[in-house]
């Protein structure tokens, strides 16, 4: 978790650069049970390649969204495990879960906000890397193809194509992958989406858990500006960054000065290419709004979670909230 002091230091440059137009939080109940190896019903760092039922999803209530909307936020990342969107590879969408997502998306966009639809599987399905069987050493008996991934996104895009305020985030935090082959996977999904939906923005993530500080070294050569194409010209680049060095799990926050240079480098690269990015985990930094379209802070509305984001001023989980509220795009 990020301390209030470090968050203020990280986000404060917004006051000088101008607030971004879009900012908010994550609603990740339907991805609460995904491990970093893409296994559902499995705890975050579990190495198993099948459900272990030591973690479960939950449904984000509309009140979670409405409470944050009242604070002036207008961008909400709705995360879902691939297995909860599509129970079987190539199968129909799970209507029970998708109807719940529909309600969240409709509420957000009917109020003038934007919803990011995020497949939260780390470029995997039960440890098998999409389109990279040679790297899927944990689960070599399962083949997950680019066609499987495109099938998912064509079905999702068909569902939301009439709503241009739904942003399609292809994949959350790919890691330990061949970035050149990931470019092929992403490109095939983009072209598939464009056969049915022309008006939705698409977010593309790099490897190394989409970390901004690693993007130039590990991701730019594969999925940087000009390397992945979008016939509709509505592509943006997705980044994550926590201020303890890596993933937000270590609890020792580092000075903002250690991140500024990398943020500026990525900003300059995107600006030179006429491209834009979004920071969908965490949220903070010097965001010139010609390049940075928006941000969403990571946090949970499950009160049993150590990631809980509370709007209760008396809660020990309010410190993060108190900082990001200062940069809500809308005045209430």
| Cβ pair 86, 38 in contact under 8 A | no
Separation of alpha carbons 253 and 256, rounded Å: 9
| Cβ pair 203, 167 in contact under 8 A | yes
Q: Tens place of pLDDT for every residue, the chain, 332 residues? A: 344 444 444 444 443 345 788 999 999 999 999 999 999 999 999 999 999 999 999 999 999 899 999 999 999 999 999 999 999 999 999 999 999 999 999 999 999 999 999 999 999 999 999 999 999 999 999 999 999 999 999 999 999 999 999 999 999 999 999 999 999 999 999 999 999 999 999 999 999 999 999 999 999 999 999 999 999 999 999 999 887 655 555 556 677 777 888 889 999 999 999 999 999 987 434 455 578 888 888 876 666 666 677 888 888 778 778 888 888 887 65
Dump pLDDT digits (tens) for 260-301: 888 899 999 999 999 999 999 874 344 555 788 888 888 766
For 163, what's the count of Cα atoms within 13 Å in the CB-facing half-sphere?
A: 23
Chain mean position to CA 206: 11
Q: Is pTM, for the whole model, over 0.75?
A: yes
Q: Which two tokens stand for residue 293?
A: 């379209």
The predicted pLDDT at position 166 comes to: 98
Separation of alpha carbons 101 and 80, rounded Å: 9
Q: In 180-318, at which residue ranges do the beta strands (DSSP E only) sit? A: 202-205, 235-240, 277-281, 292-297
| Cβ pair 138, 127 in contact under 8 A | yes
The single residue listed with the structure tokens 């490109």 is 187
Beta strand 114-119 with 124-125: parallel, antiparallel or unpaired? Answer: unpaired
DSSP secondary-structure letter at 60?
P
The single residue listed with the structure tokens 């997705």 is 238
């Amino acid at each position: 978790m990020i301390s209030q002091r470090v968050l203020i230091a990280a986000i404060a440059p917004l006051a000088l650069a101008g607030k971004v137009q879009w900012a908010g939080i994550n609603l990740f109940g339907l991805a609460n049970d995904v491990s970093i190896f893409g296994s559902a019903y499995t705890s975050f760092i579990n190495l198993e390649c099948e459900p272990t039922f030591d973690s479960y999803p939950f449904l984000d209530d509309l009140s979670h969204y409405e409470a944050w909307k009242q604070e002036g936020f207008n961008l909400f990342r709705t995360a879902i495990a691939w297995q909860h969107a599509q129970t079987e590879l190539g199968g129909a969408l799970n209507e029970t879960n998708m109807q719940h997502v529909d309600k969240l998306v409709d509420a957000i966009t009917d109020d003038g906000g934007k919803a990011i639809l995020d497949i939260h599987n780390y470029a995997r399905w039960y440890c098998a890397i999409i389109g990279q069987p040679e790297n899927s050493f944990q689960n070599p008996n399962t083949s997950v193809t680019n066609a499987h991934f495109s099938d998912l996104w064509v079905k999702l895009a068909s569902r939301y194509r009439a709503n241009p305020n739904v942003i399609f985030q292809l994949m959350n935090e790919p890691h330990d992958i061949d970035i050149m082959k990931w470019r092929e996977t992403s490109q095939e999904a983009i072209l598939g989406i464009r056969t049915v939906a022309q008006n939705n923005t698409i977010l593309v993530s790099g490897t190394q858990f989409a970390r901004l500080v690693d993007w130039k070294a590990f991701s730019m050569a594969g999925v940087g500006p000009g390397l992945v194409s979008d016939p509709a010209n509505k592509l943006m680049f997705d980044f994550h960054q926590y201020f303890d060095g890596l993933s937000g799990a270590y609890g020792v926050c580092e000075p903002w000065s250690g991140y500024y240079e990398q943020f500026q480098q990525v900003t300059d690269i995107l600006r030179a290419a006429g491209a834009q990015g979004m920071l969908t985990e965490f949220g903070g930094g010097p965001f010139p709004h010609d390049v940075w379209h928006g941000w969403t802070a990571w946090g949970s509305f499950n009160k049993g979670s150590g990631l809980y984001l509370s709007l209760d001023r008396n809660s020990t989980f309010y410190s993060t909230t108190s900082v990001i509220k200062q940069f809500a795009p809308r005045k209430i």
